[in-house]
Structure 1
Amino acid sequence: MRKVRLGENGPLVGAVGLGCMSFGGIYGSTTREDSHATLKTALDLGVNHLDVANIYGAGVCEEVMGDFFRANGNRDQFVIATKGGIQTGPNRDFINTKAYLTACIDASLKRLGTDHVELYYIHRRDHRVPIEDVMETLIGFIEAGKIGAIGFSEIAPATLVQAAEIHPVAAVQSEYSLWTRLPELGMLRTCKSLGTSFVSFSPLGRGMLTDVELDPASFAADDFRKPNPRFTEPHFSSNVGSVRQLNAIARREGIPTATLALAWTFHRAEDSIAIPGTRSADHLTENAAAADFVLSSDLLDEIEDLLPFGWAEGSRYTEAQSRGVENSY
């Protein structure tokens, strides 16, 4: 698989990584055996960058990964990123204090069965804590050997600039795909200018930009997509109609829709990393193929004509889901 550097001076990772959120059953039931099979397939395919967070499955996702590393003795074959800074439960909040982030990283390392992770993200910014204080905490984690590099999730370009003035920021992850293109309004350019890697999460539109026909009626009550405006009517039916045009192009080209959609992100965001989530080894294989698939200019133009900027109906998040996201584009 084609490799890119994670951060200006960081390790080389496959352009396609693996989002491990689904290992906790968040998008449907799964087993540890299935998750471990997916991790094994990842190694076989050259997918060596794993992305997780302390809140995914209330820590279960990290535990599943830690069990895999302990059973196979292959922790050093992966570049791991995890996240902290969100307090879940009835008192949901974003907390970036030194004490809270220290508790987050220490608990994550224990679950993962490792003494360090290569990349640590602030999952959501807590604006009660100055960015200078947040960076001081993260730099302390680097000095203590707990993390290799600093990252932020769902921040605005201005926040990245402020943070990078204090210490290099290796990566920023934002939702980016054919149906969510906000990073094109400034974040992609800012990352490039600062030597920060851009990491696309949900690059397959939470399952929409694939060959699997979704049925929101079948979503579990706690499925993130259940209340999401893009998955509710009348928006969902309109979005499905648009995606079917992409499906038709992929069939004509003889490739899975997921491969085509991911390849598009790499064309639009040069040297970016995509972290589509899956608990299926077969789907991971489709995703990995995108790293080396080259889009012709004619094919790119055709996709842009059919699915132009802003084509998706419905807001990206509900009001509750959007809390903590910086949208100052």
Structure 2
Amino acid sequence: MEQRQLGKSGLRVSAIGLGCWNFAGPYGPTTEQESHETLACAKDLGVSLIDTSNVYGMGVSETVIGNYLRKNPGHFKIATKAGICRDSSTGARHFDNSAGHLRSELVGSLKRLGVDHVDLFYIHRREADLPIEEVVETLLQFKQEGKIGGFGFSEIAPASLKLAHAVAPVTAVQSEYSLWSRQPELGMVQACNDLGVAFVAFCPLGRGIFAAQAPDRANFGEADFRIANPRFLEPNLTRNINVVAPFKDYARDLGTTPIALAIAWLLSRGQHVIPIPGTRSAVHLQDCAKGADLKLNQAQLAEIERILPAGFAHGERYSRDQSSGVEGYC
């Protein structure tokens, strides 16, 4: 698989990575065996970057990955995150970027993963009242101690990135980016390119909207992240399915799948863009990997833009609760 530079860290990783939130069941139940089969498939495909977090299932995702790595060491570059805190009784969340909290959570992540360091450590959400420059100093200490390779931030604004990068080079920014979530094009994709920072795109398949089979609310479980997401509430869901249908037809006309075409479109946004589709299925991951081999010409990109122009989606990408901690910048 094509390799891309992970910021200025010196690491090269596969053009697509694997998002591992799904290992904790946000879109439906799964098993450790199924997740391990997906990781084995990732290795076979040459996917080398895996992305997780301490709060994915409150440690479940990291534990599942750690159990795999103990039997299959090497190959993968690991990214994890911290900074989101959840109340155990109410489920309400807040953000803590203090040195003590981040250190404690990083130590816990390393233990669950069964490793002595991770290649990339993100601040999952910024704590608004704590200067980002101070957070960078904390991350630099972890780096000096050998606990992390590089560091990054999730869902921050370009202005915050520039403040952090002025203290020390940021390795990566992670934000939602896909054909129906294109806010990063209003400054963040460009800022990352200018600064030599990798842009890691999560949910590149629109939480399933670009899958061959359209999402069906009747199949959503009670814990499904999409159950309260505005784009998956009616009448938005039906409207979105109808708008996306011609894109799926176009993918078939090109002899590929809508999943592969959506991934290929993202890869065309710049050499610093690295999509991390999330899946618990080896079959779905194989489909995603096809996108890394699909090179789109200007006519094809123009046709995709005609079919799905920026802003086509019905509904906001997050509910009010889901958007907590995301920095706006436009």
TM-score scaled by length of structure 1: 0.98
Partner of 1:212: 213
SS of residue paired to 2:117: coil
1:260-314 C-alpha deviation (Å, 9 max, x unpaired): 0010011123331000000111110111111121112221111101110100010
Partner of 1:82: 80
Q: 1:10·1:170 contact (CA, 8 Å) conserved in 2?
A: no
Partner of 2:33: 33
Partner of 2:21: 21
Whole-Å separation in 2 of the counterparts to 1:62 and 1:305: 40
- Write the letter of the residue equivalent to 1:49: L
Per the alignment, do residues 101 and 31 of structure 1 end up closer, same or farther by CA in structure 2, a change over 3 Å counting? same
Show the 5 A alignment for 1:85-104: 85-89=83-87, 90=90, 91-104=92-105
Q: Structure 2, unaligned stretches of length 5 or more?
A: none
Whole-Å separation in 2 of the counterparts to 1:132 and 1:160: 10
- Write the letter of the residue equivalent to 1:276: P
1:25-65 C-alpha deviation (Å, 9 max, x unpaired): 22111111111011011011000100000000110000000
Deviation at 1:155, TM superposition (A): 0.2
Whole-Å separation in 2 of the counterparts to 1:10 and 1:60: 30
- Write the letter of the residue equivalent to 1:51: D
Whole-Å separation in 1 of the counterparts to 2:283 and 2:219: 22
Mapped pair 1:55 → 2:41: no
Whole-Å separation in 1 of the counterparts to 2:150 and 2:9: 10
Mapped pair 1:105 → 2:106: yes
Whole-Å separation in 1 of the counterparts to 2:215 and 2:152: 32
Partner of 2:64: 64
Partner of 2:259: 258
Whole-Å separation in 2 of the counterparts to 1:207 and 1:311: 16
Q: 2:9·2:150 contact (CA, 8 Å) conserved in 1?
A: no
Q: 2:85·2:95 contact (CA, 8 Å) conserved in 1?
A: yes
Q: 1:259·1:290 contact (CA, 8 Å) conserved in 2?
A: yes
Mapped pair 1:114 → 2:115: yes
1:173-221 C-alpha deviation (Å, 9 max, x unpaired): 1100000000000001100111100110000000111102211232111
Q: 1:263·1:290 contact (CA, 8 Å) conserved in 2?
A: yes
- Write the letter of the residue equivalent to 2:197: T
Whole-Å separation in 1 of the counterparts to 2:10 and 2:62: 22
Whole-Å separation in 2 of the counterparts to 1:10 and 1:22: 29
- Write the letter of the residue equivalent to 2:265: W
RMSD over equivalenced CA pairs, Å: 0.9
Q: How many residues align?
A: 327
Query: What fraction of aligned residue pairs are identical, expressed as a percent?
Result: 50
Partner of 2:136: 135
Partner of 2:203: 202
Deviation at 1:86, TM superposition (A): 0.3
Per the alignment, do residues 19 and 251 of structure 1 end up closer, same or farther by CA in structure 2, a change over 3 Å counting? same
Deviation at 1:251, TM superposition (A): 1.2
Runs of 4+ with deviation above 3 angstroms: none
Q: 1:16·1:275 contact (CA, 8 Å) conserved in 2?
A: yes
Q: 2:193·2:272 contact (CA, 8 Å) conserved in 1?
A: no
Whole-Å separation in 1 of the counterparts to 2:9 and 2:100: 29
- Write the letter of the residue equivalent to 2:160: T
- Write the letter of the residue equivalent to 2:141: G
Whole-Å separation in 1 of the counterparts to 2:10 and 2:184: 22
Whole-Å separation in 2 of the counterparts to 1:197 and 1:284: 22
Whole-Å separation in 1 of the counterparts to 2:9 and 2:228: 40
Q: 1:15·1:271 contact (CA, 8 Å) conserved in 2?
A: no
Partner of 2:156: 155
Q: 1:263·1:291 contact (CA, 8 Å) conserved in 2?
A: yes
1:207-248 C-alpha deviation (Å, 9 max, x unpaired): 111102211232111211111110001111110001111110
Partner of 1:189: 190
1:93-152 C-alpha deviation (Å, 9 max, x unpaired): 111011111111010000000000000000000012111211111001001110000110
- Write the letter of the residue equivalent to 2:59: G
Whole-Å separation in 1 of the counterparts to 2:71 and 2:77: 17
- Write the letter of the residue equivalent to 1:23: F
Whole-Å separation in 1 of the counterparts to 2:326 and 2:190: 19
Partner of 2:11: 11
SS of residue paired to 1:118: strand
Q: 1:179·1:312 contact (CA, 8 Å) conserved in 2?
A: yes
Deviation at 1:3, TM superposition (A): 0.3
Q: Higher mean Cα deviation, 217-226 or 113-122?
A: 217-226
